[in-house]
Amino acid sequence: MADCPKCPYVGLNEVAAGAVTVDECPECGGRWYDAGELEAVAKSPDKLRAAIEEETDPRKSDRPCARCGGGMTNRGLLNRLLRVDFCPACRGFWVDKNEVGLIDRLLD
Ligand SMILES: [Zn+2]
Ligand SMILES: [Zn+2]
């Protein structure tokens, strides 16, 4: 499995998150969601899907994709203050530990 985009040489572990299995870093607690997984576990999948399409305030991320190692985009999601890393090639998301619970709160 891939390494954490934040912690060098730390491998991600598979953990159950609702209906899907996501990859979590044992070091920093951040999570990698493959394409479609973030919506699958969200409280309001349609609302989140619309927010994903919007790509709020995109910037170049300095972290590599956990899946393909390519460059990611750091972007707002639902709110400009909630920043996540998005891989345009895999369409997966890297979400920091403190942001995981924030997504459902912003969907309220
Ligand atoms: Zn990590
Ligand atoms: Zn990728």
Number of Cβ within a 10 Å radius of residue 51: 21
**In this predicted model, what pLDDT tens digit does every residue of 2-42 receive, in sequence order?**
899 999 899 999 999 988 999 999 999 999 999 999 999 99
Quickly count: other Cβ atoms within 10 Å of residue 37's Cβ.
20
Identity of the residue numbered 97 = K
| Domain ranges for the chain | 13-106
Q: What is the 3-state secondary structure of 28-81?
A: CCCEEECCCHHHHHCCCHHHHHHHHHHCEEEEEEEEECCCCCCEEEEEEECEEE
DSSP 92: -
| CA of 7 relative to ligand 1 center, distance in Å | 4
Q: What is the pTM of this model?
A: 0.93
Residue 17 pairs in a beta bridge with 20
In the chain, pLDDT over 90 holds for what percent of residues?
88
Name the average pLDDT for the chain. 94
| CA 6 / ligand 1 centre spacing (Å) | 5
pLDDT value at residue 76: 96
Determine the distance separating the centroid of ligand 2 and the alpha carbon of 66, expressed in angstroms: 7
Ligand nearest to the CA of 67: 2
pLDDT at 92: 97
Q: Which residues contact 86 (CB under 8 A, 6 or more apart)?
A: 55, 72, 73, 74, 75, 92, 93, 94
Question: 82 pLDDT band (50/70/90 cuts)?
Answer: very high
